[in-house]
Chain A
Amino acid sequence: MRVALFLTCVNDTLYPETGRAVVKLLTRLGVEVDFPMAQTCCGQAHYNTGYRHEAEPLARHFSDVFEEYEAIVTPSGSCGAMVRELYPRMGERARAEGRGEALAATLAPVVPKTYELTEFLVDVLAVTDVGAYYPHTVTYHPTCHGLRGLGLGDRPRRLLQAVGGLELVELPGADECCGFGGTFALKNPDVSAAMGADKVRNAESTGAQVLCAADNSCLMHIGGTMTRLRTGMRPVHIAEILASTEREPAR
């Protein structure tokens, strides 16, 4: 199966190790991974900040780049939700504005074949034990757009539970937002920071060494709060845990 990795602009620029982990993991599972070099950004930050019309060219560009692939896999719940939930809505809004079917028709092909990483593993590849080894105590934070947007459910936790050496501990208040929220973190910094501090305190209370999530933008906020509060915990993307093996352990 030939799939395209939609890494997202944030991961490409700031978290290349997450991208390398996805490639390593999927290759190990027999998937042929391509990284279309023309990919950029899904337009989520534009859309969610109120710049839907600025997001449209980015959505069209996304469709141009990824349309030819059988499946599009992304290690980001929120960017996955952008394509799956909000691209159809962008098409509807364009129609309602009297701009016809063009945008909806352009975006339609990529919508059903875009998968968040854990969805792709569990639903498409039908694996939960990916042969990973990660001898650490981990707590899992389900990010909002993955949890409530994509409905990832217990997929990430099932994958983590099957990892060798990994002790999974429950995060109190797991389904509460960490306070990132894209531009919310900048527009409402006090509330965002308070939410982040509460999330980190809950994570600390578990005694885990690692807080794991399936979205690096949330982890950027949580991790930045962790180091500022000098907790000693680390944020790690789930792809890096699932890519880690006994022979080639994660750092």
Chain B
Amino acid sequence: MSGTFVGMPAFPEAAREAVADPTLRGNLRHATHTIRAKRAAAVAEMSDWVELREAGRRIKDHTLRRLDRYLVQLEEAVTAAGGTVHWAADADEANRIVTRLVKETGESEVVKVKSMATQEIGLNEALEAEGIRAYETDLAELIVQLGRDRPSHILVPAIHRNRGEIRDIFRAEMGEWGRPAPEGLTDTPAELAEAARLHLREKFLRAKVGISGANFMVAETGTLVVVESEGNGRMCLTLPETLISVVGIEKIVPTWRDLEVFLQTLPRSSTAERMNPYTSTWTGTRDGDAGEGDGPRTFHLVLLDNGRTDTLADEVGRQALRCIRCSACLNVCPVYERAGGHAYGSVYPGPIGAILSPQLRGTGSEIDASLPYASSLCGACYEVCPVAIDIPEVLVHLRERVVEGGLVTREGNKVVLKPARGHAAERAAMRAARWAFSRPGALRAGQRLASRTRALHPRTLPGPGRAWSAARDLPAVPAEPFRDWWQRTNGGTTEEGTAK
């Protein structure tokens, strides 16, 4: 697994490999079940969880409905605090802006806070193409970067790796990027963490430019918030002279008071912590703060759209923009647990990825058109979501978009999508079923035919039915359908007898 997500096969093919990999299955099962149980316990402690969840939903919906207003308010506040705001319509524009800003500092390396937005736009690759090296400093992102791998989880991107694999990656790769792993490194967590600490420390002390995302942006004061567990993020936010933050436009909350809700729900939903270990907030630059305190002398905020306004235009799909990237939906998802994160072909895997990627990127590619089907609609994701995103509802809505096409917004314009290719046989089957089900007589004729020919039914099915019979036996067709029994026995009141 390396490189980018372009040209991914559809989800079912991508998942097949993961399902057949016992090490990966074991790693994922262990990790998701552990965190699942911890989250459930952390949430159960809160007597007002239902109210907090509802408050979170409402704050996000309120903000999204007035996003134009809050974005301008935020821009004014950030500017007043000494920061510079840039607007990026898409990934290319955001990458161009960040690359230019880094080049203006004269530096050729940057340290990075764990950030989904910069992964979404492929910033590291864009910087590399311009001769700038980006160092990931989150422990798990470091493992992914050193392993020339891709993240497979929003919160714990190296969830697919076990301790032994991490030790091997550190031993083989750390020296390429900076300070090598200590001699005789074992796979104990403390030793692995110490190796990472030593490796990263020299990066923190040397770096002149930091790049981050943000979990929240408070419109009233222009404050950005990063919520993390390691303290490595805070190193990047406070030590470098220049800080560039790339943040999706949906990350706004109007006030500090609104933030309070999410600082309760996010840690419990993501890492099952009662309180988040490192919550960093910054407003503009150190100079804006009368030269006091920590933080950068130069601060740039790049506000990223990249499909978000288009998503906002869809009245069913827009709820995906409430997401606070907690990963609770990944950790409870039975499909994610078996398929792993890479199969989703996006930095956003799992249930939330299955509704975000096809909206942010459109349903044009094979992988994006297959993602809405990467769910059994079991509803576990919706149940745990701290902002009540009805993921199954959006999945079904996007399935409709795939098979029926219809009106969508792309780059701000209304366009009519054609139905996706490859669904013609299914569409015909659905129409035929609708026809038969609209006529009880036709249904009955079909049932009788199935019953009377049952001795001839094969044990395995040809064509698309093979997908069923490859792993499961077929049910035996009964001698008569229920409705024939009902009629023959007058609702079971006369002699039972047997079917003719």
Contact = CB atoms under 8 A, between A and B. Distances in A.
Interface stretch (A42-50, A111-119, A125-133, A158-166): A42-50
Interface in B387-401: 393, 396, 398-401
A221 B376 CA distance: 13
A191 B335 contact: yes
B338 to A, nearest CB: 5
A181 B376 contact: yes
Contact of A177 (B11, B334, B436, B464): B334
Contacts of B403: 49-51
A33 B490 CA distance: 11
A14 B485 CA distance: 13
Contacts of A54: 430-431, 434
Interface stretch (A66-74, A143-151, A204-212): A143-151
Contact of B400 (A52, A96, A145, A223): A52
Interface residues of A, number: 73
Contacts of A176: 334, 378, 380
Among A12, A48, A188, A227, chain B packs the most CB atoms within 10 A around the CB of A188
Contacts of A185: 467-468, 472
A194 interface: yes
B49 interface: no
Contacts of A191: 12, 15, 19, 335, 338-339, 374
A176 B433 CA distance: 30
Contact of A179 (B334, B465, B474, B481): B334
Interface stretch (B144-152, B278-286, B300-308, B437-445): B437-445
Contact of A148 (B334, B335, B383, B438): B383
B379 A148 contact: yes
Nearest to A145: B379
11 contacts: A7-B482, A20-B482, A45-B430, A47-B396, A51-B404, A57-B434, A177-B378, A177-B380, A182-B376, A224-B475, A225-B471
Nearest to B440: A38
A244 interface: no
B487 interface: yes
Interface residues of B, number: 69
Among B25, B402, B431, B491, chain A packs the most CB atoms within 10 A around the CB of B491
A40 interface: yes
Given A48-B396, A52-B400, A196 B434 contact: no
A144 B379 contact: yes
A154 interface: no
A51 to B, nearest CB: 5
B473 A228 contact: yes
Interface in A181-204: 181-197
B450 A195 contact: no
Contacts of A14: 475, 477-478
B241 interface: no
B197 interface: no
Given A14-B477, A38-B440, A148-B380, A50 B393 contact: no
A189 B478 contact: no
A23 B492 contact: yes
Contact of B440 (A7, A13, A37): A37
Given A187-B12, A188-B11, A148 B382 contact: yes
B486 A35 contact: yes
A223 B438 contact: no
Given A40-B443, A144-B376, A50 B483 contact: no
A61 B438 CA distance: 7
B376 to A, nearest CB: 3
Nearest to A40: B437
A49 B379 contact: no
B165 interface: no
A228 B338 contact: no
A27 B478 contact: no
B373 A227 contact: no
Contacts of A228: 471-473
Contact of B15 (A40, A45, A179, A190): A190
A104 interface: no
A96 B315 contact: yes
Among B431, B465, B474, B492, chain A packs the most CB atoms within 10 A around the CB of B492
